[in-house]
């Protein structure tokens, strides 16, 4: 499923490849280098994730690309040009940069924050205004509602959306992201991750993403680089390859248990056939809803609002009791998924809702179908079909109950956190 392409102007800057050649960083007064002899080719237009424990030098490695840290030795080529030949501030204006707490300028409005880099680049007013509108749309924040707000009036997730938009403002060919979602609650983090994938399909930047969370790395990376101390590369490759064949004990330990479940991070909702799951509006009336549920032997269904956005779960047993106000029955729908949501996150939403079903919506929030737990379990079976010898050693295959039980706890926590996010949000 593709997103509506409204921003032709977004693709003006071609992504470029990045080449790190034997890069070393030695901080004064430290015996051991922070980064030692690091070489890597990052292909244009891909998301490369540096993942490793804290203190392994992954952030330092990334910060050398935009020269926030100067390499002690080695070369960094961006689109074939030696980064040290470009004045640092000029270089940084052409490289988007996103940090953990978004790092927005607190005294400026959201609009002013978005306009900072285009202003530094001396764009004309009309172009800046046009670009800002595109950015609001790109990261899913209504312009009229958010433009004049200040960062502290936004939730953490909204701030980080602005952070991503600001990094993309001048349409840079390269984006550096330093644990951008690390401080967010799990549900918000999952949603922003899915959205980053969606945005990346539109803008096709070369993205270097730093995280200590292997799940995040697997979910986002076209290529994952597992780092150990001094930023030495333990293994690099596509995420499924790393999950299937960890290079050594270190990587295996870092991946941790539940490799099979982790592979659910590699399958997205769009990869499944969407079920024709019944959803109703109030216009369908009560009897109509009940009849369909009986015919199809379903226990619950989805109530849509006038814009066909999912609003509530309706339960058959409650409807059977003929309540006076069916629209007040059931339970508010807390989570929906989009095409780019991974099955792992979709499963979380299902377990949080307790219905074993999650509605799928498009970019406007309009209902397009649903995914059911049994589909996810089927996909889980499929990913099991290709086990690799080492995998059983790394993570003994577990029963579905064990696996889902483990996730259930996380889902409950996530649901609680989501409630808080809503409270602090708009």
Partner 1 sequence: MAVPPLASSLPAYVGDNADSIAQLAVGHVWVVALSMAIATLAGVLLGLVAYRSSAAASVVITVASVILTLPSFALLGVLLALLGLGVVPVVIALVLYALLPIVRNTITGLRSVDPVVLDGARGIGMAPLQRLVRVELPIAWPVILAGIRTATQLVVGITAIAAYVNGPGLGRFIYSGLSQLGGANATNQILVGTFGVVVIALVFDALLALVGRATVSKGIRA
Residue 298 CA to residue 306 CA, distance in Å, equals 23
Residue 244 CA to residue 239 CA, distance in Å, equals 8
312 neighbors 331 (Cβ within 8 angstroms): yes
Closer by beta carbon to partner 1, 72 or else 112: 112
Q: Which of 1, 69, 108, 298 binds partner 1 (CB under 8 A)?
A: 108
CB of 159 to partner 1, least distance (A): 11
Residue 100 sits in the site that holds partner 1 (CB under 8 A): yes
| Interaction pattern, residues 339-378, with partner 1; x per rule: CB under 8 A | ----------------------------------------
Q: Which of 5, 39, 90, 424 binds partner 1 (CB under 8 A)?
A: 90
CB of 210 to partner 1, least distance (A): 13
Residues of span 216-255 touching partner 1 by CB under 8 A = none
CB of 19 to partner 1, least distance (A): 21
Q: Where are the alpha helices (DSSP H) in 139-284?
A: 143-146, 156-168, 186-203, 214-220, 239-244, 249-255, 259-262
CA distances 97 to 100, 221, 358, Å, are 10, 17, 34
Beta strands in 362-421 (DSSP E): 367-372
Residue 99 sits in the site that holds partner 1 (CB under 8 A): yes
**3-state SS, residue 26:** coil
- Burial track 323-340 (b if 16+ CB lie within 10 A, e otherwise): eeebeebbeebebbbbbb
Q: Per the structure block, which two tokens stand in for 260?
A: 């099979």
Residue 159 CA to residue 153 CA, distance in Å, equals 9
Closer by beta carbon to partner 1, 121 or else 416: 121
Residue 148 CA to residue 128 CA, distance in Å, equals 16
For residues 60, 63, 68, 70, the Cα torsion angle rounded to the nearest 10 degrees is 60
CB of 158 to partner 1, least distance (A): 14
Residue 131 sits in the site that holds partner 1 (CB under 8 A): no
Residue 89 sits in the site that holds partner 1 (CB under 8 A): yes
> In degrees rounded to 5, what are phi and psi of residue 235?
-165, 145
CB of 113 to partner 1, least distance (A): 10
CB of 100 to partner 1, least distance (A): 7
β-pairing, 95-98 with 300-304? Answer: unpaired
What is the chain's alpha carbon radius of gyration, rounded to the nearest angstrom?
A: 23
Residue 152 sits in the site that holds partner 1 (CB under 8 A): yes
Closer by beta carbon to partner 1, 184 or else 214: 184
352 neighbors 414 (Cβ within 8 angstroms): yes
Q: Which of 34, 38, 46, 66 binds partner 1 (CB under 8 A)?
A: 66
Residue 83 sits in the site that holds partner 1 (CB under 8 A): no
Q: Which of 33, 57, 71, 151 binds partner 1 (CB under 8 A)?
A: 151
CB of 192 to partner 1, least distance (A): 18
Q: Which of 24, 72, 84, 109 binds partner 1 (CB under 8 A)?
A: 109
Closer by beta carbon to partner 1, 121 or else 368: 121
Q: Which of 38, 50, 97, 277 binds partner 1 (CB under 8 A)?
A: 97
94 neighbors 170 (Cβ within 8 angstroms): yes
Residue 45 sits at the vertex; the CA angle it makes with 262 and 181, to the nearest 5 degrees, is 50
Residue 167 sits in the site that holds partner 1 (CB under 8 A): yes
Contacts with partner 1 by CB under 8 A lie at 66, 68, 88-94, 97, 99-109, 116-117, 120, 150-153, 166-167, 176
């Amino acid at each position: 499923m593709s997103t509506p392409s409204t921003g032709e102007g977004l693709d003006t800057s071609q992504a470029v490849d990045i080449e790190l050649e034997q890069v070393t960083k030695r901080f004064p007064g430290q015996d051991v280098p922070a980064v030692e002899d690091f070489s890597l080719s990052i292909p244009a237009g891909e998301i490369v994730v540096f993942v490793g424990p804290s203190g392994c030098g992954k952030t330092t490695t990334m910060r050398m690309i935009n020269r926030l840290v100067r390499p002690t030795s080695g070369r960094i080529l961006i689109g074939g040009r030696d980064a040290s030949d470009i004045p640092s501030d000029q270089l940084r204006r052409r490289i988007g940069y996103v940090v953990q707490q978004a790092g927005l300028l607190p005294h400026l409005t959201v609009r002013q924050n978005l306009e900072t880099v285009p202003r530094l680049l001396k764009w004309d007013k009309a172009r800046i205004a046009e670009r800002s509108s595109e950015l609001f749309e790109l990261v899913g924040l209504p312009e009229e509602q958010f433009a004049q707000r200040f960062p502290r009036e936004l939730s953490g997730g909204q701030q980080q959306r602005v952070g991503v938009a600001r990094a993309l403002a001048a349409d840079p060919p390269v984006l550096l992201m330093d644990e951008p979602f690390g401080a967010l609650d799990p549900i918000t983090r999952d949603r922003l991750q899915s959205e980053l994938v969606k945005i990346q399909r539109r803008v096709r930047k070369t993205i270097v993403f730093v995280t200590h969370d292997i799940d995040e790395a697997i979910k986002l990376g076209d290529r994952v680089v597992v780092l150990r101390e001094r930023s030495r590369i333990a293994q690099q490759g596509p995420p499924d390859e790393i999950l299937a064949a960890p290079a050594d004990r270190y990587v295996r330990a870092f991946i941790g248990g539940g490799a099979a479940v982790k592979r659910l991070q590699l399958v997205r909702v769009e990869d499944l056939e969407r079920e024709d799951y019944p959803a109703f509006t109030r216009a369908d009336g009560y009897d109509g809803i009940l009849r369909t549920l009986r015919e199809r032997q379903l226990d619950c269904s989805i109530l849509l609002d006038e814009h066909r956005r999912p609003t509530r779960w309706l339960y058959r047993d409650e409807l059977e009791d003929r309540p006076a106000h069916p629209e007040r029955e059931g339970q508010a729908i807390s989570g929906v998924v989009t095409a780019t949501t991974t099955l792992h996150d979709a499963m979380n939403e299902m377990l949080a809702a307790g219905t074993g079903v999650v509605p799928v919506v498009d970019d406007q929030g309009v209902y397009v179908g649903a995914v059911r737990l049994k589909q996810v379990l089927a996909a889980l079976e499929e990913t099991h079909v290709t086990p690799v010898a080492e995998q059983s050693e790394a993570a003994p295959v577990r029963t579905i109950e064990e696996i889902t039980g483990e996730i259930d706890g996380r889902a409950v926590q996530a649901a609680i956190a989501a409630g808080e996010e809503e409270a602090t949000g708009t």
